[in-house]
Amino acid sequence: MKDVRIKGFEKLTPYDVALKKILERVFEVDKEEVYIENSLNRISAEDIVSEIDVPNFNRAAMDGYAVIAENTFGASDTNPLIFEVIDEVNIGEYKEIYLRDYQAVKIYTGCVMPKNADAVVKFEHTVKIDERRIQILRPVTPGKNVSLKGEDIKKGDIVIKKGELLTPYHIAALAGIGRRKILVYKKPKVLILSIGNELIEPGEKYVKGKVYDINSFALYSLALKYGCIPKRKILPDNYEKIKNEILNSVNSFDIIITTGATSVGKEDIMPILVNDIGELLVHGVSIRPGEPIGIGIVKNKPIFLLPGFPVASIIGFLYFVRPVLEKMLSTKFPRVMIKGTLKRKVASTLGRRDFVRVKVIREDDKFFIEPIRITGSGIISSLLKGDGLLIVEENVEGYEEGEEVEVEIIKI
C-alpha cells in the first residue's frame, strides 16, 4: 500500500456527475437462452415478434350454435326462428363447414367456427325440436360470442420488448404464440465484501467490542431482488487480504461491492486500495446519507465502496448500483412513486442531495408524508418504521409543511 493517505474530502462530487462517471464505463452483460418456464423475473434480451395470430382462427367464445347472425334478426320467445342443425364441432377438431341460410352448427367454447358463421347463439337461448332442428329465441349481432382471429395478438405484433422484466403474464403470452425459449440477459454476479475487524456473523456468540454484520445481508437481499446472483463474505481491515480477495475474484463477477473502510479515517483503506489496483473514479459524493461512497473500476469491472453504516450502504445500492444494473440489463426496474402532503418541514443544504426516510400515511383518499425523526445513517430501524424515501435535490433548500412532495416507496 502506498504511503499516501487521503486527507478528508476536499471536494465532493455531485450525485449526477458521480453516477455518470460509472455509467460511462459499464456495458451489457452476456445473454443466454432459457426455457420460458425458467424465465420468470429475467430480463428479455430481444424483441419478441409473434409469428402467428392469437387466436389463429375465429373460435367460439360460448357453448351454443354457430350461425349467420343476420338470419337471427327478429327472433324472440313469441317469434322463434327454426334452424337446421347440420353438424357438430368438438374441441380440437377442424372441419370444413359452410353454412347456408338458417343452418346452424353445434359448437363449444374454443372450437373453430364454420367459415362463414359470424356469431354463436347460446344453448339457453334455443329450444331443441329434434336431432336436426332447433328454435332460436334471441337474435345475435355479427361477432357476438366469437373470439376473432388475431383479436388477442396479431401476427407481426411485438409481444415483449428488449429490456422488459418477464412476469407470469409475459410467459403466458410467449406460450400463446408458441415460443418455447427466450433470450435473456445473464444474471449479474455480485461479490459483496463486508470490511471490518469488528464484524462477526449472525448466529455466532456475541463478543464485546464486536458487531453483527448487517450490511452484507442487506446488500445480498437487494442484489437478489434486482435479479443478481450474489455472494457475501466478511474480511478484516487488512490491505493484502482485501486486495487478494478482489484480484482473485474480479474475473468471476460483474460487480464488486465493499462496505466499510471507505471514509477518511485510519482504517479506511478501500479508496487507496482501489486506486492501487484499478482506477478510483469518485470518492466522496454530495449526498446524505452516503457521503463517503467511492466508485471505481478494477479490471473493467465496477467496484462500489459503500459506507459501513447500514442505511447509507442501502441507499448507495439503490441509487448507484441499481442504475448500473439497469444499464447492464438494458432495463428500467419498476419504481413505485407516491405524491402526498408533507406533515412536517424538511430542511436541507443547497448543493447536497438528501434522501429522507419517511412514513406514508393514508387518510381518507389523501396521502400524507411524515419524515422519520430518528434518521442517523446507522439506524436500520428507521427503514423499518418508514415506507419510502423523499429525495431533496441539490438545488432545493428543503420543503415546507403542507407542500406536495413525491416519495419512492422502498418497502415493497
Comparing CA positions, the residue from 295, 313, 301, 291 lying closest to residue 379 is 313
Average pLDDT estimate for 220-244: 97
Average pLDDT estimate for 19-47: 97
* Per-residue pLDDT tens over the stretch 238-265: 999 999 999 999 999 999 999 999 987 7
Q: Could you give all domains of the chain from N- to C-terminal order, each with its CATH number?
A: 15-30+186-328 (3.40.980.10), 31-54+151-185 (3.90.105.10), 59-147 (2.170.190.11), 336-409 (2.40.340.10)
| Whether pLDDT at 5 is above 60 | no
Distance separating the N- and C-terminal Cα atoms of the chain: 42
* Per-residue pLDDT tens over the stretch 369-393: 999 988 788 888 998 999 999 999 9
When comparing pLDDT for 173 and 379, which is higher? 173
CA dist 281 and 25 (Å) reads 10
pLDDT attached to residue 263 = 82
pLDDT attached to residue 8 = 58
Q: Which residue has the cell 388477442?
A: 152
C-alpha cell at 274: 482501489
Contacts (Cβ under 8 Å, ≥6 apart) of 99: 66, 67, 68, 86, 105, 114, 115, 116, 117
When comparing pLDDT for 379 and 36, which is higher? 36
* Per-residue pLDDT tens over the stretch 48-95: 999 999 999 999 999 999 999 999 999 999 999 999 999 999 999 999
HSE, CB side, 13 Å, CA atoms: give it for residue 95.
17
Q: What is the mean pLDDT of the chain?
A: 95
Burial class for 2, CB neighbours closer than 10 Å (0-12, 13-18, 19+): exposed
Can you tell me whether residue 404 is helix, strand or coil? strand
CA dist 112 and 107 (Å) reads 8
How many Cβ atoms sit within 10 Å of the Cβ of residue 288? 18
DSSP state of 62: S
